[in-house]
Chain A
Amino acid sequence: MFPSEIEPSMPEPDHCFANLRGVRWRVNLGVLPFQASSIDDLRKATAESRRRYASLRRRLLIDPHLSKDLRNSPDLSIDNPLSQNPDSTWGRFFRNAELEKTLDQDLSRLYPEHWRYFQAPGCQGMLRRILLLWCLKHPEYGYRQGMHELLAPLLYVLHVDVERLSEVRKHYEDHFTDKFDGLSFEERDVTYNFDFKKLLEGFADDEEVGGIHGSSKKIVSLDELDPEIKSIVMLSDAYGAEGELGIVLSDKFMEHDAYCMFDALMSGSNGCVSMAGFFAYSPASGSHTGLPPVLEACTAFYNLLSFVDSSLHSHLVELGVEPQYFGLRWLRVLFGREFLLQDLLVVWDEIFSADNTARRDEDNNSFMIFDSPRGALISGMAVAMILCLRSSLLATENAASCLQRLLNLPEKIDVRKVIEKAKSLQALALDEDVRASALSVNNVFDQSVSPAIPARTNSFPSGSTSPKSPLIITPQSYWEEKWRVLTAEEEKQSPSAPPPKKKASWFKVKRLFRAESEPAHSGKTESKGGLASVARNLLEDFNKQVVSEPEEVVAVNNEDSSVANRVDVVNNEDSEEANREEVVNNEDGSVQETDEANREDAVNNEDGAVEETEERNVDFASAGEESITAVEETSSDVFSDPNSPLRHSNSIENDSDSSTGSILFANEKVEDQETSAVDSPLPVSSQPSIEFPVVQSNDEENTTDLDKSVAVSKERNKPFPGKFQWFWKFGRNLTGEETRSNGVESSKSDLVSSSESHSSPQASSSSSKGESDQNMMNTLKNLGNSMLEHIQVMESVFQQERGQVQAGLVENISKANLVEKGQVTATTALKELRKISNLLLEM
């Protein structure tokens, strides 16, 4: 009963709620009825909720002195100040006092930047009473830190509404009085009698005394009627239904209203997202995961993240950043600590306006939080916030710094953008497929140690399953298949044909994500679509050259020059091409199996070389930067094991998903070339699929050094999508090439890298000899060809680059010396490469 939007059939409340956030929230949270036919309904509901609070307050706030008066024969052995009985009046009193002390500790530190309002004694008192009452009412939850931060904005919103009301009052004061005079006395009288009777009836039940009665008397004495049509005044009308108690905007009953809102928010109004659940330690009743709701929610939004941005997700998982580390804080206070109060209100506007009713079917096994639009939006928010930090998160190399970034969001974050993204993510979260696939995640989750196992990587078993049987769970292969179909469709160059609905949503997300990662550079990227087939032409410009390089390779190998114009399609297509290439090489089994097997073969072939280069890289790393070493070593371990399922899943992930990995990788390369960074040995070029986050982190450092925005580098790197797959396929070849390209600009490691590039092909060739089958020979020939091509490309690059340096590219000028130095060594490396390729061709 809490629809997400206000229907147009209710122009009156719609109008006022637009301006009055407090009222709108109350409606959205279910305190006020949504389908109120008149203002009177609102008033009645308001009065009712306030009465409930008043009676609760009377019942639960204990004053032992007053209670003594009421009782005739108190059992003194129980009811004395030193009583050990927790149920005695005094026992409860002391417990309340203790709770209040705890509350005060938190409340006194609440919103120090808004201390003028929140630290005022009146506000503190209200907050304390509300929290105290809520905790007493819900002893199963009790008070937990963070609840006060959920409550404070609610109270603040009410306060703002009331202030606005008084403003309006002041403004229209003369207007009001005029209208009062024009009214007939009889009309007023009738209304009064009616209302007041009702008011008394309402009070008859709970015998409210004190303030409310006093105010009701005031109504009689004042004897005037407010006829203002404006809803804001209607809501503040003291003389409508329920009298003063029914004033929707009331200074006096702010505490009552805030409590009702807080209660509704905490309980979730029977919806599936209840904030109170986020503070509980026991799993919710309907939970399938057997986790406390907040942990389940954390897992849910990580799951969502894995769908949207698997590379970032796997990076976080690799670092061991579990979602609850920051998710607890985010979710428990509904992002209250991440945004400034003004922004937070906007965020909450959206969250509250989302419907919270569960649309749960009994056999649904997804996360509970995905069951309602509100829950989905909350998880969408979380993912959107993570995505905001995407680049800086990928740059981190350990969990601590990662968490530090997650827990200290930059203040300049554009809330509206985040919300917009969250909304599209919400749509995705509500998508049945994601929900369905959550089931498998849950299963994996239950078995595994870490709760952060992503959906994408659930193809690798949590334990140690036989590598020969790559365990592919249905949803994963499902997505895989979907991508295959999708990319194939795109390749057919049928832009007019609308893609299936779900794919469309996927694309939306992807594009959204894209747009985020390279804002304001769309013009440049768009032009790159056409670069695919014509490699030579593109070498004229350095950027363009870098862009075209992989695509050219793909074209050479594949002879498939049809490349879609859409930028994000390019990625998919490239990956598809890579896949196809593999299929061509190994024509056995189903698509999936081929994919897997092919990879394994390729890995086997490359193994020796790769391992060697890996070791070298590790050496470099230990010599250079110590922090990365560990990661690298682990990755090299993984890498050297050809049967590691992890790799498969990763590669699949990269094939089918966004090309972020390759982006990063390319990014690294570009950065290296541009900046000739000191830590060039680090780029670990030979482990693209697994280690791209690390790579990214290196070049992120470079980026920060250069004061360059990440977006720029991203934009440049973006058109590298196919490179990744290409790396995979011709791992050895690429290893050589890539290391060379690193060495080109690096002042330190050039010799080593050249030797590396020299050694790796030999190793691989020897290993491939062992295989000695026709396919391999063909492949090797292809490799040689492509290598030659690359060498030519690189040479022209260097020429170009030199020219650019002289022309005065801003980034390059400062590093010109280093670049020059690097180029000398690069040329030697090129020679080596040429030798290798010749050797290969002979084979």
Chain B
Amino acid sequence: MVLVLALGDLHVPHRAADLPPKFKSMLVPGKIQHIICTGNLCIKEIHDYLKTICPDLHIVRGEFDEDARYPDTKTLTIGQFKLGLCHGHQVIPWGDLDSLAMLQRQLDVDILVTGHTHQFTAYKHEGGVVINPGSATGAYSSINQDVNPSFVLMDIDGLRVVVYVYELIDGEVKVDKIDFKKASTSTSAP
């Protein structure tokens, strides 16, 4: 059983001061094994903060990130799942499922995590999942003015992944979950 935290588009300090306190209180060390971040942190302090939650941190570069060393895309394997990571501003049209599915096939991953739209979405698509955790700080985007802070926690256990969605709506944390079962180890992409 592995818990993977997925978040991104924090835009600190340009569009938000910090993570919401309620999120911060939930994100305690010791529970989460991996963090995947879709970029736009944008400063090193946030990077350091994420490291305190979990040292195993995977970040791709957003268009506002100061650190140029982050890669554009990244893949990693957790349990029996292959995860792909991309900020998403490169995929046009932004947030389009077909374009993202293309990227998913390109990277040959089961779960594709992208950001940039600041809007939580999760699709089950072609035997895989495409997830956008939204903006963890609720920062505005060029598409969206009114954004609820949200992030995603994936509980990967064997062939099954449970996606918990944490969204801050009117000061209350709302949790939702999506179950996803992989058919078998071989069916990652056609």
Identify the A interface with B (CB < 8 A).
64-65, 68, 76-77, 80-82, 84, 94, 98
Contacts and interface: CB of A to CB of B under 8 A. Distances in A.
B180 interface: no
B25 A81 contact: no
A520 B25 CA distance: 72
25 contacts: A64-B1, A65-B1, A65-B157, A65-B160, A76-B164, A76-B175, A76-B176, A77-B173, A77-B174, A80-B153, A80-B164, A80-B166, A81-B3, A81-B31, A81-B153, A81-B155, A82-B26, A82-B27, A82-B28, A82-B31, A82-B153, A82-B166, A84-B26, A94-B31, A98-B30
Contacts of B3: 81
A68 B177 CA distance: 12
A77 B173 CA distance: 8
Contacts of A81: 3, 31, 153, 155, 164
A65 B28 CA distance: 21
A80 B177 contact: yes
B77 to A, nearest CB: 20
A297 B9 CA distance: 62
Contacts of B175: 76-77, 80
A76 B3 CA distance: 16
Interface in B141-162: 153, 155, 157, 160, 162
Contacts of B155: 65, 81
6 tightest A-B contacts by CB? Answer: A82-B26, A76-B175, A80-B175, A80-B164, A77-B175, A81-B3
Interface residues of B, number: 20
Nearest to A93: B1
A77 B162 CA distance: 15
A94 B32 CA distance: 11
B176 to A, nearest CB: 7
B172 to A, nearest CB: 8
Given A81-B3, A81-B31, 8 more contacts: A65-B162, A76-B164, A76-B175, A80-B164, A80-B175, A81-B153, A82-B26, A94-B31
A84 B175 CA distance: 13
A489 B33 CA distance: 80
A82 B166 CA distance: 9
B111 to A, nearest CB: 17
A81 B155 CA distance: 8
A152 B30 CA distance: 29
Nearest to A101: B30
Residue of B155, B160, B166, B175 most packed against chain A (CB within 10 A):
B175
Interface in B168-188: 173-177
A68 B1 CA distance: 14
Contacts of B157: 65
Nearest to B160: A65
Nearest to B177: A76
A68 to B, nearest CB: 8
B83 to A, nearest CB: 17
A64 B160 CA distance: 13
A68 B178 CA distance: 12
A454 to B, nearest CB: 49
B30 A94 contact: yes
A236 B58 CA distance: 56
B164 to A, nearest CB: 5
A735 B174 CA distance: 89
Nearest to B154: A81
A65 B181 CA distance: 13
Contacts of B25: 84
B54 to A, nearest CB: 12
Nearest to A79: B175
Nearest to A82: B26
B133 to A, nearest CB: 14
Contacts of B177: 76, 80
B33 to A, nearest CB: 11
A84 B22 CA distance: 11
Interface in B11-47: 25-28, 30-31
A80 B165 CA distance: 10
Nearest to B174: A77
A98 B29 CA distance: 12
A82 B54 CA distance: 14
Contacts of B31: 81-82, 94
Contacts of B162: 65, 68
A82 B155 CA distance: 11
Contacts of B153: 80-82
A84 B28 CA distance: 10
Contacts of B30: 94, 98
Contacts of B176: 76
A68 B161 CA distance: 13
Contacts of A76: 164, 175-177
A76 B26 CA distance: 14
Nearest to A77: B175
Contacts of A68: 162
Interface in B73-97: none
Nearest to B158: A65
A312 B177 CA distance: 69
A196 B31 CA distance: 46
Chain B CB within 10 Å, residue with most, of A68, A81, A84: A81
Nearest to B164: A80
A594 B86 CA distance: 99
A694 B1 CA distance: 63
A505 to B, nearest CB: 58
A80 B176 CA distance: 9
Contacts of A65: 1, 155, 157, 160, 162
A763 B174 CA distance: 94
A409 B31 CA distance: 43
Interface in B113-163: 153, 155, 157, 160, 162
Nearest to A75: B175
Nearest to B23: A82
